[in-house]
Structures are given as structure tokens and as C-alpha cells.
Amino acid sequence: MDRKNIVEFVYDCEDKLKKEYEEIDKISFFNSMKVLKAFHDSKVSEAHLQGTTGYGYNDYGRDTVEEVYKRVFKCEDALVRGQLISGTHALTVAMSAMLRPGDVMLSITGKPYDTLDKVIGITPNDSSLISYGIKYEQVDLVDNEFNKEAIYKILLSKRVKLITIQRSKGYSTRESIGISKLEKIISDIRKVDKEVIIMVDNCYCEFVSYKEPTEVGADLVVGSLIKNLGAGMATNGAYICGKKNLIELCAERLNVPGQAKEVGPSGTNNRMFLLGLYMAPSVVSSSLKTMTLFSYAMEKLGYKVSPRYNEVKADIVLNIEFRNKYKLIDFCKAIQSSSAIDSFVEPTPSDMPGYDSQVIMASGSFTQGSSIELSCDGPLREPYIAYLQGSLTYDYGKIAVINVVSKFYDEGKMNR
């Protein structure tokens, strides 16, 4: 195939996706209305775009950002801070805030995201939750379904303080947890345990559907602002939303006992966080369309993808299975060369803090590590899966599809 045919091939793929794109547009419109209403109800004004320094007392902008988040998540309170370094940090703060020595924490989506191994103590660490006397238990998914029997057995045999549910698949091959499945398991848990705190790791799932976890019964929901809700505008930060008393505990854990949400200078964050949230429904829709196009095109080229183009999406991450180390590396190189920043740089596999195997990452992003921007990564282990996500606009995503398809053809790498 020459370049012209490749462009035609990608346009042909796009033509087949009208129905999927229509549904993505509907969700984006719905979430835009939700965001705008939250801005209106919170009376966001120009003054709120300013930030504070030092202690961060009387930070009306920061308080308003949190008010808007609270309304978007339809819950009692929110903590949205630049002092939360990342999603991992926000999850760490939330778990540390909920758990006391002797308490039991239970993950019902199997082993959590790799960067939490040392936080929990699955990989021993002197500062882990386990080192503080917290007990950790885990129930794996079975064929992508919650193992309700095993969960019930634990809940009925002992007092569990915190249940964690990770929606997005992380570096695994399981399916991500859609909002209906989440709603169902939460209501099932409530049948046997009214007390247990249910926390949801919502990374990559925000605005992918009509509802957020706090709307279907979660007590706490956690996510990163260099993913969906930052929309590429926020240059750091994370959020925790949920029940008022729990958010208070999180704020005391993050900041200072006794000062909770009252402190924490926002610097230049208020404007970025508001702008990011405002743009997020549309940016998430660009990511979803990009992933749908990649899914369709890579499947046509013979690769196993998940989710397939016509499956309901629970997050913005696409798995492409290469079953070959060199193809995975080539794919990441092609994504890197499609970026605006560092397009001339060749990604190479390397060790990463918090990860087991070597990882290759393509992230030519405006914000370091931002994965709402076009990016892809994959651990160098069987079956050599690339985890692709993002694109701030659909056009840049489509250009990346064209580049990937043409690179794979040009260099004859399809047949390696």
C-alpha cells in the first residue's frame, strides 16, 4: 500500500464507525451539560481563577473548584488539589486516611495497579499499609465478573473496613468495569454490609459514560488530573470525591490534622483545574473516538484488540496485543513520532519506579506523564500488549492512526 491508499484505508475505517461516534457524541453532550450546570450552580466567577500562596487560607477559587467537582460527582464533598501529586498519591492518601492498624482492606478487582504494590505492601516496603498493621485481602475477578460468593464469604466472616474497586484494567488483560456492573456489585455488597466504605479507583473512566461512581453508591471516588478530568490543561493534581466525613479524613491525612481543607495554596491551579474540567467531556470524546478508530484499524490489520470498536467502552484505554516484542516497540515508536513534543525521540524499554518488568512508553506530551494526551505504554512481557490512550483532539488521533498504519506497512514489519 502506498501513502495515498493508507489514507483512504483510514477514511474507510472511519466511515464504518458512524454509529459508535454518534453514541460518543451523545455522552459528551450530556457530560458537557452536567459540567456547565455545575459551574452555574457554583457561581464560578473571574475572581475564582486566581490562586493563593503560603498557607492557602481563604482560597475561594480552590473552594469553588471543589464545589464544582462535588456537583459533577453528585456527592457531598471533594478534595481537588495540586498537592496530590498523582492518582497513585490520591489513592494512597485515601487508603491511609480510611484505615487504622488492625483494619481489613479488601480489593475485589484482583491485584490493584502496579504502583500500589509498595503502598499496600504486596511488595514489602517499610512505609506500606501492611507495615502499619493493616490487613490486605484480595478477591480476583473470574471471567471478567466479580466473584460475589468469595466477596460475601469474607464480608460475612469478618469486619472489613474498606473495599476498593479498580475500574480500569491497568496492565492486565481483563475488561474494565463499566458503570452498570459497578452499580450492581455495590448494591450487592450493600445487601450484606451497610457499613463498609466502598472506594473506587476511577482513573481513565471519567466522562466515558453518563454516570460517575458516586452516583451509583460509591462512598469515595479517586482519579488523576493528568488523565481525563485535567483534559491536558491541568499540569498536575488529583481528586478525591465522596462522603463529607471521609473527605475530611482525606484532607487531614494529606494536609495537617486539624486544618483539613482550610490549607493548601492553589498557586496557578484554580484556572487550570476549572478549564480542564470544562474541556474534559470533549477531550474524553476525542480520546474515545481515537481509540475506536485504532481498535477498528488494528483489528483489520490482524491484531487482537480490546475493547473491539463496537463494544461499550468503560475507559479510554485500548489494548493491542502484538505477541511480539519488536512489534510492540515499533508501535510505541510510531506513536512517539506522531506526538507534537519529542517526536524525534526513540522510546526504549527501561525500568520504572513502581513497575515489575521493563516498560516502554511513548509520551510526547505537554505535561510529563500525561496520558489523556496521545500516549502508549506496555510492559515487556508476554503477550506484548500496547496500552494506548488519549489524544487531545480527534484529528491528531487520526493522524497517529495514519502514521502507525503507514509505518507498519512501509517497513514491512507486519510480517516479522
11: Cβ contacts below 8 Å, ≥ 6 apart = none
Q: How far apart are CA 134 and CA 104, in angstroms?
A: 6
Per CB under 6 A, 113 contacts ligand PLP? yes
Least Å distance, CB 235 to ligand PLP, is: 13
83 or 115: whose CB is closer to ligand PLP?
Answer: 115
Least Å distance, CB 88 to ligand PLP, is: 3
348: exposed, middle or buried (Cβ count in 10 Å: 0-12, 13-18, 19+): exposed
Least Å distance, CB 141 to ligand PLP, is: 14
Output the DSSP codes for 143-196: TTB--HHHHHHHHHHS---EEEEE-S--SSSSPP--HHHHHHHHHHHHHH-SSS
Least Å distance, CB 191 to ligand PLP, is: 26
Q: How far apart are CA 210 and CA 232, in angstroms?
A: 21
87 or 307: whose CB is closer to ligand PLP?
Answer: 87
Least Å distance, CB 414 to ligand PLP, is: 30
Least Å distance, CB 170 to ligand PLP, is: 5
Pairing outcome for strands 197-201 and 220-224: parallel
Per CB under 6 A, 204 contacts ligand PLP? yes
Per CB under 6 A, 224 contacts ligand PLP? yes
Site of grid cell 474540567:
277
Q: How far apart are CA 373 and CA 358, in angstroms?
A: 22
87 or 121: whose CB is closer to ligand PLP?
Answer: 87
Counting residues that bind ligand PLP (by CB under 6 A) gives: 12
Per CB under 6 A, 239 contacts ligand PLP? no
Judge whether 164 and 112 are in contact, CB under 8 Å.
yes
Least Å distance, CB 388 to ligand PLP, is: 13
For residue 375, count other CB atoms closer than 10 A to its CB.
Answer: 22
355: Cβ contacts below 8 Å, ≥ 6 apart = 114, 115, 171, 379
Per CB under 6 A, 66 contacts ligand PLP? no
127 or 245: whose CB is closer to ligand PLP?
Answer: 127
Judge whether 196 and 162 are in contact, CB under 8 Å.
yes
Q: How far apart are CA 322 and CA 114, in angstroms?
A: 21
Interacting residue with ligand PLP among 86, 172, 214, 391 (CB under 6 A): 86
Per CB under 6 A, 269 contacts ligand PLP? no
x/- contact string, 137-176, with ligand PLP (CB under 6 A)? -----------------------------x-x-x------
Per CB under 6 A, 87 contacts ligand PLP? yes
Least Å distance, CB 213 to ligand PLP, is: 13
H/E stretch holding 270? helix 269-300
52 closest CA partner among 256, 327, 264: 264
Per CB under 6 A, 115 contacts ligand PLP? yes
33: Cβ contacts below 8 Å, ≥ 6 apart = none
Per CB under 6 A, 228 contacts ligand PLP? no
Site of grid cell 471533594:
78
Per CB under 6 A, 363 contacts ligand PLP? no
64 or 224: whose CB is closer to ligand PLP?
Answer: 224
48 or 253: whose CB is closer to ligand PLP?
Answer: 253
Per CB under 6 A, 387 contacts ligand PLP? no
Interacting residue with ligand PLP among 201, 330, 373, 377 (CB under 6 A): 201
Least Å distance, CB 181 to ligand PLP, is: 15
Q: What is the Cβ-side half-sphere exposure of residue 342, based on CA atoms within 13 angstroms?
A: 16
**Residues within the interface to ligand PLP (CB under 6 A):** 86-88, 113, 115, 166, 168, 170, 201, 203-204, 224
